[in-house]
Structure 1
């Protein structure tokens, strides 16, 4: 398969590359490697003028009465903010905060006016004026500024009846009032849409694997005893699974088959099992059913046996209520808490912990992410013909999702928001996505529009040095059926702090997944089905939050559809394999040149080295390990100085044919009209997706082998260097024959001496980074 020549210029490749930046983090310019300790130290400070309107008292009523409908208007230059109006209250309470961007203030004065809501022109009741130069500054962790009572004045400066309790100060986005404050940047947003622009933190639901072992049924009563094609259908929510037909067709069928579901806490829906009898080609008869609440199901931590139980089957008889009869079903049901529920692609996983918190180990560090700003975002045509971008970011790591506030009508938004996660495994990936909010015009009832995808960034924690602050500008790339597009750039700052280096290094020797994945492994079909179920549950649960995370956002962050067939991705995996074995090809070519005496001096040196090793075989292994040590030290100079990002050449977005991209983004099943073509097309894509996954796994293993000495993961390579040094010294004193005998005896050891858990070298190898997280 010849590799197509790239058709993009070097300038365009530079446009897709990562760029190191030097923002003013924490209020001061930070050089590479500096350690910051202040609050919000990974973002630039943004100063805001805060006005807290608490309450008023003794406000005059309308036409001499004691009641009024007051509200407060806060005005700074051309920016105006309004509290809600309270009907018939002379002592109203508002407790609202207004935040005005200090960079955009157009007046040195702050006017806080109290007005009476009227059907026509609102009545002016009084005002409190502040000089911006006299406003105090507040920086957390200082306590909040205490509000004070201020006498209202009329337009001429004379005191009038009524007092207003206010607090006015200048702070930053680190202020605890910032999140819920009315912001001047969103002055044009409707009241209905305000909730959709707030910064929020979400927690994905706690997921369990529900294992249903359908054993047998007894005393079934089919209407037609000549047809006993009986199977069990299990439904949990919208997910429906079924068993195969039993081998013997009797009224006491036997299956002994496992059905696995993903369930989320709290368990809102019961597990419904029904015994069906196929009486015709497209007709089934329900012989009985039962409903089981997951609250009553046993929770299993390890691979211990679960007792089976008999459940009575209930059958609906016409318009009568449920009638119990003698049919029953034998089941073994449990909730497996020892697994890690795969809610995303395994290569991009952000968490490897089991469901049960009792099995969690202490955290090894803290991940801090600063979302600073974005540049040159593509403008979209919105309602009314205007072109703008209302951008927000979503970041996912572990169970914690965050959503930044939406910056209105800006192609270069500035968020400057900082978030923190606990880290339990360094071989995990944090994902940051950028989206265009489509629901600002008309609130949640905007015509079924979807949030536009602008791009995303993935960062593997194991490629980060501990304690170092990384500040880079990442290109936002989107691939669709029309080709690769650069949607802009996002500037991020990342810091991975480790509490104990010893604990961090110890994680590399532990199994990647929880114990249950090795003791009772899941099949490839089960993993695909469970991942699909988990994605649907997470998407539905986050969509019920306020403001909701849209379905398209969650699916994009979870890489839904990444395992579907793609000719482009298959070619990319093929070239990854070719690149991995290129070193072997070069070694064979070099050896061939030695055999052909193309360089006589080198050939003579090889002969001398061979004779020395033949006379002193105990030097073979020490020389091999020392050679690997030298290669690793030599490559240390060329190690990556920044976390890897999407590689355009690696993903081949510009070297495939347009019809291949159309095929990649075609629906599954295909949208082709011809029925025969549809069946064949889907069959080929289904088989090819497995081959594609196999090719990707082979490439991943080879790249992990290369990562031993490439310093892609500096800690893993350092451990490899230490091992090579230690092994090289030990084999100076251990005879090779003794080592060979020990290796053979270990490989041929008795099964009783073996364990089902992976060995330390295998666990270390599986934690090495590959280039998978740099692909689209």
Structure 2
């Protein structure tokens, strides 16, 4: 009911919270637990089913036994995997939330799954949960052997190795445990180490042409995995062509894929004739960390297929001249440049020492919207994914809950403060296999490390905003606790004077087109690797976290960036019009000080900036971390077709009349931007026209003004002139009686510009 009375802008704001995190809460019986000090401590009952020996089964002789253990605590039940052995080894851990278990005993039963049903083998005497020992994360309760009993508590054959204890999510075995309130376990993922592979195709020699009476058109086709690039057609028409072109690829360690080069003749009646081919393993190539030259090598070409180079030594064959190296001095960009979480070069030898530790506690989510239908209501199976640097983490999936609690804490090493951690919430469609749908994103949060104060705990509820064709929609809120701890202030301050990217990006810069193409390739490699992990991070998750569609043109983004620029210029206009009285009065004081102490001009300017910064300290962002602003990004625009156009396919799937309407609207809004750009260009050209004699009458007037001003300033101190002009321009609006443009403004607006050279 409270959220229903709020406006959309108020609902989208951050809310500071005070959760009972571990740093301020002591649980009885859990002394010494401090690794999970940013989240709420949660108690779990852990049951570790290790193995059993000497179990009696009817199908043991023919190997058809299908043994499993069943653990039951009240209404919650968990089963191990089935093992075809009379001495099964399961080694599985189950975690039951103490708050959800409404039972005082724990039961463990061993069964054999047969064609006729589950056959009872034996069970353990019931465990009294009130007598369960409490252990911290450093010392585990060692599993013990227990004799099995029958249904009537009589003796039975076999023993079971089992451990049961009370712990928290700080327990080191917690991430691998199967949870009673979750559909999947948590996971940590290390990104593959990516290298740029530079292939400089120099020339080829002794190519054998099938038709010697025509001039060939020779190209080199280079392939690494799914990456395919071609050189241009050689300008040398013969059997010894030259190209001297660079081809850039991305390869991931371990280098399982080879570089395959094929020399082709594309001029033979539309057919590509293969003149030679070679396969080159990447693992054996030179790894370069700086701009030093790479040694070139000759490789033998085979017409019939791929032949090892060593088998061709001493024999005649076509050859190709190459320079190949693995570039370790670059950072392989796989995410949006504005939201990079890692800026280190590939070569580990170039890494600097970390400057701090970033810790994030994913506490819970609140008010998540139902993502699919369930009986008479809705259902959401939510989990979080966080990415920073080379490590991604995924929380466990909380089933069928609009207010899931994770209370998981993760940490990363920080190498650069100008990096961003991204946390997103997803709905797990694959848990119940809902028609092969993809996991849908429910919103994301970005936090830049440089906006965090060292050692301060930031506890906020962040709104989960998703932009649809119908506008900005709030899917709920996520509660996060973030702490950045600086370990080296000297190294961190030195980073502010260093380039953002490794030096190879500036010595041999890559073009924008190359970066866009290679970023797509890097995203595909990461998606393939993380999709094979368990639990997998599928392609839709990786694309959502890496902002794959961020560079797609949008009219909304164009207008939002244009308004950002105009708002910056409006800051000066606010001072002039007394819309910010404090700053206007401050500039009056500054002018007065300059009038009295003109020699102290540089000192006064920097001291003024110091005072303004001190004044703005109480509104600093550390207390209110920056978050997505729907108004700044124009997500709350009134015209729904603007957003519908942004989510349209490429090429468009809309009918022609809608495309025509959107084109007309684009021309209308584009004319506004065009007019502003034209105005600023005209202002600059009018200043230039004063000294270029573009107007033979205005320039002499300007020269007369210059000579008079120079004489005037020689006899009158500049501080007096500056003070008079300053106070005149900053006078209060009540004193601006005349509304007509001033003479100097009229003179300036009559100056010519290059508009006269423009076509209508």
The TM-score bracket by the shorter chain reads: 0.7 to 0.9
Per the TM alignment, residue 108 of structure 1 is displaced from its structure 2 partner at its CA by 1.2
Per the TM alignment, residue 355 of structure 1 is displaced from its structure 2 partner at its CA by 0.5
Q: Please state whether the residue corresponding to 2:7 is helix, strand or coil.
A: helix
What are the residue-to-residue correspondences of 1:632-671 with 2, within 5 Å?
A: 632-640=613-621, 641-655=623-637, 657-671=639-653
Quote the residue 1:309 is aligned against. Answer: 297
RMSD, aligned α-carbons:
3.6
Contact 2:359–2:410 under 8 Å retained in 1: yes
Per the TM alignment, residue 13 of structure 1 is displaced from its structure 2 partner at its CA by 0.5
Quote the residue 2:395 is aligned against. Answer: 404
What are the residue-to-residue correspondences of 1:158-173 with 2, within 5 Å?
A: 158-173=154-169
Quote the residue 1:138 is aligned against. Answer: 135
Distance in 2, matches of 1:520 and 1:603, equals 46
Distance in 1, matches of 2:23 and 2:305, equals 74
Contact 1:76–1:105 under 8 Å retained in 2: yes
Quote the residue 1:620 is aligned against. Answer: 601
Distance in 1, matches of 2:603 and 2:443, equals 49
Q: Structure 1 length normalisation: TM-score?
A: 0.76
Distance in 2, matches of 1:603 and 1:398, equals 45
Contact 1:568–1:656 under 8 Å retained in 2: no
Match of 1:78 among 75, 79, 95: 75
Distance in 2, matches of 1:112 and 1:10, equals 51
Per the TM alignment, residue 288 of structure 1 is displaced from its structure 2 partner at its CA by 2.6
Q: Please state whether the residue corresponding to 1:39 is helix, strand or coil.
A: coil
What are the residue-to-residue correspondences of 1:50-199 with 2, within 5 Å?
A: 50-57=46-53, 59-60=55-56, 70-87=67-84, 89=86, 91-118=87-114, 119-120=116-117, 122-123=119-120, 125-141=122-138, 143-155=139-151, 157-186=153-182, 197-199=184-186
Quote the residue 1:773 is aligned against. Answer: none
Quote the residue 2:364 is aligned against. Answer: 373
Distance 1:273 1:9, change over 3 A: farther
Contact 1:27–1:45 under 8 Å retained in 2: no
Please give the per-residue CA displacement for 1:187-217, whole angstroms capped at 9, x wherever unaligned: xx6xxxxxxx221111111011111122223
Q: Please state whether the residue corresponding to 1:315 is helix, strand or coil.
A: coil
Match of 2:19 among 6, 18, 23: 23
Quote the residue 1:261 is aligned against. Answer: 249
- Quick check: 1:229 aligned with 2:217? yes
- Quick check: 1:440 aligned with 2:431? yes
Distance in 1, matches of 2:591 and 2:344, equals 53
Distance 1:634 1:144, change over 3 A: same
Distance in 1, matches of 2:168 and 2:592, equals 72
Match of 1:484 among 465, 472, 476: 472
Distance 1:63 1:401, change over 3 A: closer
Quote the residue 2:756 is aligned against. Answer: none
Please give the per-residue CA displacement for 1:606-656, whole angstroms capped at 9, x wherever unaligned: 87655445xx4x311111111111111111121121321111111101216
Q: Please state whether the residue corresponding to 2:181 is helix, strand or coil.
A: helix
Distance 1:87 1:471, change over 3 A: same
Contact 2:112–2:118 under 8 Å retained in 1: no
Contact 1:340–1:354 under 8 Å retained in 2: yes
Q: Please state whether the residue corresponding to 1:525 is helix, strand or coil.
A: helix
Per the TM alignment, residue 87 of structure 1 is displaced from its structure 2 partner at its CA by 4.3
Per the TM alignment, residue 56 of structure 1 is displaced from its structure 2 partner at its CA by 3.7
Distance 1:603 1:503, change over 3 A: closer
Distance in 2, matches of 1:583 and 1:604, equals 17
Per the TM alignment, residue 164 of structure 1 is displaced from its structure 2 partner at its CA by 3.4
Distance 1:132 1:304, change over 3 A: same
Contact 1:113–1:128 under 8 Å retained in 2: no
Distance 1:622 1:206, change over 3 A: same
Distance in 1, matches of 2:639 and 2:483, equals 40
Per the TM alignment, residue 309 of structure 1 is displaced from its structure 2 partner at its CA by 2.2
Distance 1:220 1:20, change over 3 A: same
Q: Please state whether the residue corresponding to 2:283 is helix, strand or coil.
A: helix
Per the TM alignment, residue 173 of structure 1 is displaced from its structure 2 partner at its CA by 1.4
Per the TM alignment, residue 453 of structure 1 is displaced from its structure 2 partner at its CA by 1.1
Unaligned runs of 5+ in 1: 1-7, 31-35, 190-196, 594-598, 696-776
What are the residue-to-residue correspondences of 1:355-434 with 2, within 5 Å?
A: 355-381=346-372, 387-434=378-425
Quote the residue 1:33 is aligned against. Answer: none
Distance 1:448 1:602, change over 3 A: closer
Distance in 2, matches of 1:147 and 1:326, equals 68
Distance in 1, matches of 2:178 and 2:15, equals 35
Per the TM alignment, residue 123 of structure 1 is displaced from its structure 2 partner at its CA by 2.9
Match of 2:200 among 205, 208, 213: 213
Q: Structure 2 length normalisation: TM-score?
A: 0.78
What are the residue-to-residue correspondences of 1:454-469 with 2, within 5 Å?
A: 454-469=442-457
Distance 1:271 1:386, change over 3 A: farther
Per the TM alignment, residue 349 of structure 1 is displaced from its structure 2 partner at its CA by 0.6
Distance in 2, matches of 1:273 and 1:656, equals 54
Per the TM alignment, residue 379 of structure 1 is displaced from its structure 2 partner at its CA by 1.0
Contact 1:60–1:66 under 8 Å retained in 2: no
Contact 1:236–1:272 under 8 Å retained in 2: yes
Match of 1:346 among 316, 334, 337: 337
Match of 2:521 among 520, 529, 533: 533
Contact 2:52–2:88 under 8 Å retained in 1: yes
Distance in 2, matches of 1:582 and 1:629, equals 22
| 225-234 vs 252-261, which moves further | 225-234
Quote the residue 1:770 is aligned against. Answer: none
Match of 1:550 among 538, 545, 554: 538
Distance in 1, matches of 2:80 and 2:21, equals 34
Q: Please state whether the residue corresponding to 2:8 is helix, strand or coil.
A: helix
- Structure ID, larger Rg: 2
Per the TM alignment, residue 494 of structure 1 is displaced from its structure 2 partner at its CA by 0.7
Match of 2:483 among 478, 481, 495: 495
Distance in 1, matches of 2:652 and 2:423, equals 31
Q: Please state whether the residue corresponding to 2:560 is helix, strand or coil.
A: helix
The higher relative CO (CA closer than 8 Å, separation ≥ 6) is in 1
Please give the per-residue CA displacement for 1:362-389, whole angstroms capped at 9, x wherever unaligned: 1111111111111111112268897311
Contact 1:152–1:162 under 8 Å retained in 2: yes
Distance in 2, matches of 1:335 and 1:602, equals 57
Quote the residue 2:683 is aligned against. Answer: none
Unaligned runs of 5+ in 2: 27-31, 678-760
Q: Please state whether the residue corresponding to 2:175 is helix, strand or coil.
A: coil
Distance in 2, matches of 1:588 and 1:652, equals 28
Please give the per-residue CA displacement for 1:441-478, whole angstroms capped at 9, x wherever unaligned: 25xxx643211111111100000011111111111111
Q: Please state whether the residue corresponding to 1:314 is helix, strand or coil.
A: coil
